[in-house]
């Protein structure tokens, strides 16, 4: 294993993977918050339902973007290095 490969592996393991997981978790929390807000607004005639729908949409969009980012990283690593030993 080369020095560059070990540096890339450490950066990926220490920074990139946790950052992607954190942003995905935030998207999931926003989605759940929107779901609760939507359900709470069902009993009332208020703008809570619309806010809940909007938050669910944003949360879903965030999760889709994070899954897409992970897939793009995997595709690039497979194209560039076949099976990179440091990834």
Domains contained in the chain, number: 1
- Higher pLDDT, residue 46 or 61: 61
Q: Is residue 85 part of a domain?
A: no
How do the residues of the chain divide into helix, strand and coil, expressed in percent and rounded to 5? Answer: 85, 0, 15
Domain that holds residue 26: 22-71
16 found inside a domain: no
pTM over 0.75: yes
Contact 40, 48 (CB under 8 A): yes
User: What pLDDT does 27 receive?
Assistant: 95
Q: H or E element: which one contains 51?
A: helix 48-81
Residue 54 has pLDDT above 90, yes or no: yes
- 3 state SS of 44: coil
Residue 2 located in a structural domain: no
**pLDDT grade for 4, boundaries at 50, 70 and 90:** low
The token pair at 13 is 């393991």
Is 45 inside any structural domain?
yes
């Amino acid at each position: 294993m080369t020095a560059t490969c070990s540096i890339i592996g450490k950066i990926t393991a220490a920074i990139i993977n946790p950052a992607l997981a954190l942003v995905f978790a935030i998207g999931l929390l926003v989605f759940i918050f929107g779901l609760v807000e939507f359900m709470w607004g069902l009993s009332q005639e208020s703008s809570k339902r619309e806010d809940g729908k909007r938050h669910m949409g944003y949360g879903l969009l965030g999760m889709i973007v994070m899954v897409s980012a992970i897939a793009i990283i995997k595709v690039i690593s497979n194209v560039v290095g076949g099976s990179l030993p440091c990834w």
